[in-house]
Amino acid sequence: MKAAKPPKVTIRDVATASGVHVSTVSRALDPARRQRISKEVLALVEETARRLGYQPNRAASALRTGRTHTIGVLLPDITNPVFPPILQGIEAAAAARGYFVFVANVGDPQLAQPILARMKAQQIDGLVMAIALREDPLIDFVRDSGMHAVMVNRADESGRLPAAVSDDRLAMKLAVDHLVALGHRRIAHLAGPQTVPTGVGRRQGVEQALRDHRLPAPRIVECDSYSREAGQQAMRVLLESSGKRPEAVVCCNDLVALGAYDVLRAAGLRIPRDISITGHNDMPLVDMVDPPLTTIRLPHRELGWQAAEMLFQAIEGQALLASTVVLRPELVVRASTAAPAAA
Amino acid sequence: MKAAKPPKVTIRDVATASGVHVSTVSRALDPARRQRISKEVLALVEETARRLGYQPNRAASALRTGRTHTIGVLLPDITNPVFPPILQGIEAAAAARGYFVFVANVGDPQLAQPILARMKAQQIDGLVMAIALREDPLIDFVRDSGMHAVMVNRADESGRLPAAVSDDRLAMKLAVDHLVALGHRRIAHLAGPQTVPTGVGRRQGVEQALRDHRLPAPRIVECDSYSREAGQQAMRVLLESSGKRPEAVVCCNDLVALGAYDVLRAAGLRIPRDISITGHNDMPLVDMVDPPLTTIRLPHRELGWQAAEMLFQAIEGQALLASTVVLRPELVVRASTAAPAAA
DNA sequence: GTGAAAGCGCTAACAG
DNA sequence: CTGTTAGCGCTTTCAC
């Protein structure tokens, strides 16, 4: 039992009600060119539009102009806490420009292409991609489809698409510098999957930072994924490997660091007394774990905002100011790092 | 420098290429009525459509039919970890039916109405609302606008809109039963804001469960919001109030419980030795805090899925199977609860 | 089972 | 500055 359905009021109704032609109404209601309308008519039209409760029909305008004021966002997993703030940033930028955002979770990479096809059918004006592996053919597919697109969080190394990313190398340098300043020398790295740009970038960041300090190259164990389980497994491998135990471990992200926590605790080692640990992302609640995690905070929301802004620039035909925006991460020192026990 | 823009292929192109009329193509490509087309023509049309790379233009079909295959979702804050799984559920249900989802963060309740107006302009087919206070006029606004809408996570007590919710009373009963079984008698409750349905429901759940055990009514402190800060403040009030210290505290959600942790730790009290704590939501990482939090797990993803399914039923004109779907929460016992130290 | 024709609501030339 | 006209791509009567 719905209430009386509100009678759809169109631009035509507004036109007849205010005694002008539809095209005049169309112009009056478009901010971009209401200036070409006389003050009186403008006021009249706006008034009657409000009075009648006129709501423009975007579907009609989309059909005519080919622009829907809609963008798509492809995420691997909205449940992963790095993505909500990114999405929030995108959404905020979109709202500020009068755009809406379609979100699609692309759990299985296989689904990306069909989802993209459906988004094209919906006539999206542009696309923000937070997925894409290294050398992903999807990027070519997107470019060839002639769609405006940008990447966020994961850079496109080949530069085929604009991107907004955090500086992975700097992030790892911040972690290493901190550990070195505390007096650590034997530093290991639990690296992210080397199939993904961030995995590579962070590993290189650790390596470079250690070189800069003229310290030996880190022992590196690669994780299968950015998960706690993968972190556990990698930490186990690290502990079981020969040689002296590292004094500190730089982890590719917080979940992996927490996986390392699990294994170290099970092995009877204390953090940070026996070993220091750093993460990356500053996920919610990592300040509540035991011990609170020293990590790298990323400007996730800002990343989303910037990516969306770049996209809108492209959509609106302006020259892009930059093809890659790199934002600065920040070190957050907590209790999982300390000077080594024995000098 | 874009690649050559792909020439838009329309239904008309498919028609001429296959030597039939556009309306035939239209029918052939619509699953609902391709049956009225002869096998040969059907095959021919499908083949040429594929060959030309035809993509239907949803904007055109939307203009004609008034259906966009698009729904809107209003969230208070996607950054709050309860919402991503809900959104994921909604999105999955939508994708399964060929719909897309507009997400809007409604940080300030004042923004809800303008956002809604814009969504209407976009011709959304329906709306999932995860916002709405008790007695929220927004609900009337939505109903009066003649839009299909459902609520998720927060119920509409007045029954004006269908809803998918978790059973708040049962959730609190599970927590109380657990604490009573451990031997606790003096149980307090840090309640959620009583302006919000969940805040009221959970409080009533605690009260009822204690009555069921013939135990005294709980001491109750109301939190300003579902945040850690509010939890700290409420716990401080509880500790400073007169009377014997409670043996256990049932918190309205995990963040509030973690706020309680902060204050108890600062006061030199140990959990669970001196006091037991329970949460609600089973947020990511609450199993990693010190001590791991006993809490209530909600079927968030399922909630989103069910809400979306109800919405689609309404959109597609079927009678709703239920006006409120209530799903079962589940107790997750960890280390923040234990028998009281002294019997 | 298929074709013809009209039109959803809006915008973009082109006149005046 | 405003009106006229045409049509975006699709669905849907209504004929045949």
Listed by start position, the domains of chain A span: 11-56, 66-166+299-328, 168-298
The Cα–Cα gap between B281 and B254 comes to: 6
Nearest to A102 among B77, B102, B121 (CB): B102
Nearest CA in chain A to B261: A288
What tokens does A234 get?
């990698």
Per-residue pLDDT of B140-190, as tens digits, reads: 888 888 899 999 998 777 778 899 999 999 999 999 999 999 999 999 999
Kindly state the average pLDDT of the residues B65-89: 94
CB contact under 8 A, B88 and A105: yes
What residues form DSSP beta bridges with A149?
A: A127
CATH C-level class of B11-56: mainly alpha
Q: Which nucleotides of D are covered by protein (CB under 7 A)?
A: 1-5, 7-13
Tell me the count of A-B CB pairs closer than 8 A. Answer: 153
The Cα–Cα gap between A101 and B251 comes to: 35
Q: Do domains B66-166+299-328 and B168-298 have the same CATH topology?
A: yes
The Cα–Cα gap between A276 and A336 comes to: 6
| CB contact at 8 A, A297 and A282 | yes
Considering only CA atoms, which of B273, B294, B235, B281 is closest in space to residue B255? B281
Per-residue pLDDT of A33-47, as tens digits, reads: 888 888 888 999 999
The pLDDT value given to residue B136: 77
The Cα–Cα gap between A262 and A231 comes to: 9
Per-residue pLDDT of B190-202, as tens digits, reads: 999 998 888 999 9
pLDDT tier, A145 (very low <50, low <70, confident <90, very high otherwise): confident
Per-residue pLDDT of A287-329, as tens digits, reads: 888 899 999 999 999 999 999 999 999 998 877 767 899 999 9
> How many CA within 13 A on the CB side of residue B125?
24
CB-based contact (8 Å) between B87 and chain A?
yes
Residues in A closer than 8 angstroms to B103, CB to CB, are: 87, 91, 101, 103
The pLDDT value given to residue A6: 64
Say whether pLDDT at B4 is over 50.
no
Nearest to A81 among B123, B144, B284 (CB): B284
Say whether pLDDT at A164 is over 70.
yes
Say whether pLDDT at B255 is over 80.
yes
Most confident of A117-121, B2-6, B30-34: A117-121
The 3-state DSSP class for residue A219 equals strand
Amino acid, single-letter form, for residue B261: Y
Per-residue pLDDT of A260-280, as tens digits, reads: 999 999 999 999 999 999 999
Nearest CA in chain A to B76: A88
The pLDDT value given to residue B342: 63
From the CB of residue B204, how many other CB atoms can be counted at a distance below 10 Å? Answer: 14
Q: Which residues contact B37 (CB under 8 A, 6 or more apart)?
A: B24, B27, B28, B45
CATH architecture of A66-166+299-328: 3-Layer(aba) Sandwich (3.40)
Q: Which of A144-148, B84-88, B99-103 has the lowest mean pLDDT?
A: A144-148
The Cα–Cα gap between B151 and A113 comes to: 31
What tokens does B266 get?
């600062």
Q: Which of residues 122-141 of A touch B (CB under 8 A)?
A: 122-123
Pure H helices in chain A: 11-18, 22-29, 39-52, 58-65, 83-96, 112-121, 137-144, 168-182, 197-212, 228-240, 254-266, 300-315
Q: What is the mean pLDDT of chain B?
A: 91
Considering only CA atoms, which of B283, B288, B282, B227 is closest in space to residue B260? B227
What tokens does A32 get?
């971009």
Question: Using the CA of B24, which nucleotide's C1' is the nearest one?
Answer: C2
Say whether pLDDT at B132 is over 70.
no
Considering only CA atoms, which of A251, A332, A330 is closest in space to residue A294? A332
B271 vs B341 pLDDT, higher one: B271
Kindly state the average pLDDT of the residues A155-168: 86
> How many CA within 13 A on the CB side of residue A87?
32
Q: Which of B5, B65, B110, B118 to mutate to test the interface with A (most CBs of A within 10 A)?
A: B118
B330 vs A81 pLDDT, higher one: B330
pTM higher than the cut 0.85: yes
A216 vs chain B: nearest CA distance in angstroms? 33
The Cα–Cα gap between B318 and A299 comes to: 45
- CATH 3.60.130.10 assigned to A168-298: no
Spanning CA of A36 to C1' of D2, the rounded length in angstroms is 10
| DSSP-derived secondary structure for B160-209 | SS-EEEE-HHHHHHHHHHHHHHHT---EEEEEPPTTSHHHHHHHHHHHHH
Say whether pLDDT at A337 is over 90.
yes
